[in-house]
Structure 1
């Protein structure tokens, strides 16, 4: 049976590189079929230079004005899989009033993220989030990015990580036990509040409630700033997401600026203090504005992605109680002491479950780039100034790399299989290349510490027929908040 990829390749020429056997993927059938096929005319993004031997990038605009944004937000992974089936690893689509090229699959993403000829810049992020996360580390390019990363790395040394673990352990234990016995909380929101509390204490050594900047206001400011990046109306219209994001950004600036002088004067163990005092061997350090910008970005990245990952892990452990019991046995063997860094690293089952949850539900499903010059990916011509979306999500379901990719199977990361080693970019929930997440170790330790406390305190479950649906308006979050049954073990 001829797939959509084969049909398009027959028109555009033979695809260079290896296209995964998409017919082997059990593609979900939840996406409205009407947008597939000939509903939207297939067009070329731009004509390749004469004699270059390159092929054009094919795609379609989708519905007028909004493009494919509503379908992306509604269907998420299902939409991406369908799009890949139709067009292959390099395509474009209409979205947010622009034409955006999508690069999917290990080889296409490798080209963009390794970026040997510096053809892909972080300018792509600026289209979505610059006004809300101005000059965060993820938005910086090349030499400037390298300098800022060198300074920031001083805040993520192993000694620093060990101190962060010591700081986060008490509020995690206290927060998890506060949920109580026999309840059915919307777990996502409980986790989000808890991770914000931890981030506030560990990153700033400040309480997360009271005063002009209480936890609820800070949390809402972060939520509004993140969601504004995918607003369809990208103007500060009263009541709109863009306007709410701008208000959130201003509040966060005031929050960090108000506390910065005290952090400069002291030498604490929190991340805020670490950034204030971080200095490279060459004497480079951050100015006040840089610190405010980086703290806003790091706080968002720390508690949003941690909340998503721990929610996904809790869901899969509820659906697969044998894995929950296996992980619990390891946690109980640690005893009642608060875990330190070395103890968390010994929780091998949680490590497997976390990696599989990150594969199935990547917290950041798309990485944005902008081409700095004419370039090519897998034989396709991308002109300068092209907005590009690099998709980790599709890599996590490539049958060439993963056995039965739709199935929850943490053992695929075990030492006897290591399916994530099938390709350098088969598994990339933390991005890759020069911009790979600088806080990945911190985030992983926090998630394991949180899940450890849940396992030693509760057993939890969901109804057998319950299937979690995800909201993709910005980052993927449980649409219903993940109602879960908790009981003291």
Structure 2
């Protein structure tokens, strides 16, 4: 009996033929990750190394969710694969995901993230573990209270209206890049308290280089390589935040940088200067990159489904001309459905790495201590057991009366889960709503009927062509 005989097929899985050719045309030897302890009753984790050294890294980056889904269909919810010269155990499906993210016995650490991004996002909140993470998160929570979010929304309103209005004449802009500039302007004003301009452009380049460096196949600083560019980007960011930190300590403002400089925990704990710099670098990346991806994905679906665009526009126009506060943004129910469905179809963070700090059993499989592990939200988001027609755009699946996202605690997990669930998830949802609200007020946008966006998964998802749209001012 083969592995494929033992795993139920995902019959609703429309995968590119190239994925099948790459995965099924070349049969890499299937082996055990490690023998289970004698008498444990556990099964070994099966998988394959893929091509020498690079393993399946290139296929994963090229095909993204399609690759992850085919591996799940082939091997089931617990398997291993070679990537970046390492062996990764891949956990897919809500049940396996739940065990790793709830992490009751503290077997899974954030060391998996450190393997990928430690050199570029050193000691960011997502890289901290257990008690230290809890302490830092508790202090940082002060920056994401409802009152703080209300203050941020008052700052981003004028920035977004001015930015979207400046798109101007009818044309075919590449929407991803227009949105990236816009969200960077928001991050510059709201997070750093600085106007956009030369510094903002330089910092954006540094963030892009740092993010893309994480998936470098050559992981040492060859001149002109991605790893070297990422290290240079990190130095640029450290220098900027370090130089501006003393002024934020002396004269705090409403921006996130200032808030972190002043934030105090329940017992009077405060962040050190190094903590503030590390957290700002991580938060700036997480905030403007994920907001750009989600805004782009939602705008694409609104272009492909003009009936949803008009439905959302009617709600936005009903708010009038004032900058929307949080209560007004809460009234945009159609956008809420569209954004959630867009997050399901294009998870902004396509993998969540971990590392085991002790032997652990996952769904009856033995995973030894010291194993790199990765979780794949896309596998959960396309599960036919939890979603009706999972590859279709259907925002109503999130509406009351259906709520397919409640089919399992981890059926929908664009913000992760457990102790490390995204601390800025409400900030992100409000900002994406505000971006789309301003677009709906100012423009209509379309794409050709046969157009399909193709995502590049080299780091975080980016549309290969930048998503060209036909933009018409209202």
CA contact (8 A) 1:30 1:78 kept: no
- The match for 1:67 is 55
1:362-381 deviations in Å (ceiling 9; x for gaps):
00010010000000100000
What's the CA shift for 1:215?
A: 2.1
TM-score normalised per structure 1:
0.95
- The match for 1:331 is 316
Would you say 1:96 and 2:94 are equivalent positions? no
User: Relative to 1, partners in 2 of residues 1:110 and 1:336: Cα closer, same or farther, differing over 3 Å?
Assistant: same
Name the SS of the counterpart of 2:237 in structure 1: helix
Would you say 1:195 and 2:183 are equivalent positions? yes
Name the SS of the counterpart of 1:296 in structure 2: helix
1:57-116 deviations in Å (ceiling 9; x for gaps):
000011111111111111111111111111011111010000101000000000000000
Would you say 1:224 and 2:209 are equivalent positions? yes
What's the CA shift for 1:267?
A: 2.6
1:264-302 deviations in Å (ceiling 9; x for gaps):
011311111110111112101101000000000000000
- The match for 1:357 is 342
Moved more, 269-278 or 27-36: 27-36
Matches within 5 A, 1:129-278: 129-210=117-198, 214-278=199-263
What's the CA shift for 1:37?
A: 6.8
1:347-398 deviations in Å (ceiling 9; x for gaps):
0000000000000000001001000000010000000000000111110011
Would you say 1:286 and 2:271 are equivalent positions? yes
Q: Which runs of 5+ in 2 are unaligned?
A: none
Name the SS of the counterpart of 2:91 in structure 1: strand
Would you say 1:124 and 2:122 are equivalent positions? no
- Whole-angstrom distance in 1 between the partners of 2:379 and 2:357: 25
Q: CA RMSD in A?
A: 1.3
- The match for 2:72 is 84
CA contact (8 A) 2:123 2:279 kept: yes
What's the CA shift for 1:205?
A: 1.1
Matches within 5 A, 1:24-39: 24-36=12-24, 39=27
CA contact (8 A) 1:94 1:100 kept: yes
Would you say 1:370 and 2:370 are equivalent positions? no
CA contact (8 A) 1:5 1:85 kept: no
CA contact (8 A) 1:308 1:477 kept: yes
CA contact (8 A) 2:345 2:381 kept: yes
- The structure 1 segments of at least 4 consecutive aligned residues displaced by more than 3 Å after TM superposition are 24-30
2:98 to 96, 100, 110: 110
Name the SS of the counterpart of 2:307 in structure 1: helix
Aligned residues: 474
- The match for 1:441 is 426
What's the CA shift for 1:7?
A: 2.1
- Whole-angstrom distance in 2 between the partners of 1:462 and 1:325: 15
- The match for 1:431 is 416
Q: Which runs of 5+ in 1 are unaligned?
A: 10-18
Moved more, 314-323 or 75-84: 75-84
Name the SS of the counterpart of 1:445 in structure 2: helix
1:347 to 326, 332, 336: 332
- The match for 1:480 is 465
Would you say 1:49 and 2:47 are equivalent positions? no
CA contact (8 A) 1:114 1:434 kept: yes
CA contact (8 A) 2:4 2:73 kept: no
